[in-house]
C-alpha cells in the first residue's frame, strides 16, 4: 500500500497535481489540512482514495458526503495511523502532544502538518513515528515537499520525503 502524504498546500491546486503526478502508482492520498478547498476537485476524480483532515486555516466543510474532521484514524495490516494537522496538539512547540495522541489512539504513527517543516522522528521506547511531509506551498526557504508512506503486508511502515 503506497500513500502520498500532503499538507499545507494553501489551495495550490497546481502543487497538489504535481505531487500526485510524481506518484501515479499511489493507492491513497492523506491530506493533513490547510488548503482543503484545493483538494476537492482531485477527490471528485475518484482515481485514488482520499482521507482528509482540517487545518487551522480551513473552514468546516463536507467532502464526498461527510464532514471533514480535525483527526482521522486509518489501519493497514494491523498498524493504526492517526492523521491530524497538528495545531490542536502543539506541533510547533514540540512532540509531546502528538505523542500523547498516539498513545491515546494506540497508534504506530501520527501524520501531521502545520509546521511547514519536513520531519520524521521515531520514538523506539513508544514504538511511534511522528511524520510531517512539510508544505506543498513554497516558502520559509524550503522547496515544496510531500511525503510517502508505504505499508507492507507485514505492517512495516516506510516513510520518505519528496520535493516538487
pLDDT tens profile 18-59: 999 999 999 999 999 999 999 988 998 888 999 999 999 999
What pTM value is reported for the model?
0.96
Q: Which residues pair with 105 in a beta bridge?
A: none
**In the predicted model, is pLDDT for residue 141 greater than 80?**
no
Cα(5)–Cα(72) distance, integer angstroms: 14
Output the DSSP codes for 136-159. SS-BTTB--EEEEEEE-TT--EEE
Task: Tally the domains of the chain.
Answer: 1
| Sheet of strand 2-6, all strands in order from the earlier edge strand to the far edge | 49-52, 28-31, 2-6, 145-151, 157-163
Residue carrying the nine cell digits 498513545: 103
CATH number, domain at 127? 3.60.21.10
- Domain extent at residue 64: 2-163
pLDDT tens readout for residues 61-109: 999 889 999 999 999 999 999 999 999 999 999 999 999 999 999 999 9
pLDDT band at 139 (very low <50, low <70, confident <90, very high): low
Amino acid at each position: 500500500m503506497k500513500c502520498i502524504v500532503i499538507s499545507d498546500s494553501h489551495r495550490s491546486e497546481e502543487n497538489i497535481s504535481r505531487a500526485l503526478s510524481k506518484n501515479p502508482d499511489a493507492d491513497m492520498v492523506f491530506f493533513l489540512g490547510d488548503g482543503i478547498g484545493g483538494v476537492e476537485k482531485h477527490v471528485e476524480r475518484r482515481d485514488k482514495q482520499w482521507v482528509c483532515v482540517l487545518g487551522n486555516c480551513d473552514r468546516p466543510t463536507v467532502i464526498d458526503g461527510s464532514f471533514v474532521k480535525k483527526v482521522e484514524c486509518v489501519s493497514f495490516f494491523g498498524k493504526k495511523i492517526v492523521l491530524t494537522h497538528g495545531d490542536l496538539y502543539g506541533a510547533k512547540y514540540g512532540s509531546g502532544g502528538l505523542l500523547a495522541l498516539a498513545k491515546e489512539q494506540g497508534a504506530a504513527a501520527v501524520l501531521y502538518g502545520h509546521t511547514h517543516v519536513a520531519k520524521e522522528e521515531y520514538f523506539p521506547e513508544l514504538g511511534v513515528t511522528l511524520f510531517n511531509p512539510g508544505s506543498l506551498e513554497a516558502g520559509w526557504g524550503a522547496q515544496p515537499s510531500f511525503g510517502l508512506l508505504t505499508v507492507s503486508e507485514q505492517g512495516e511502515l516506510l516513510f520518505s520525503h519528496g520535493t516538487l
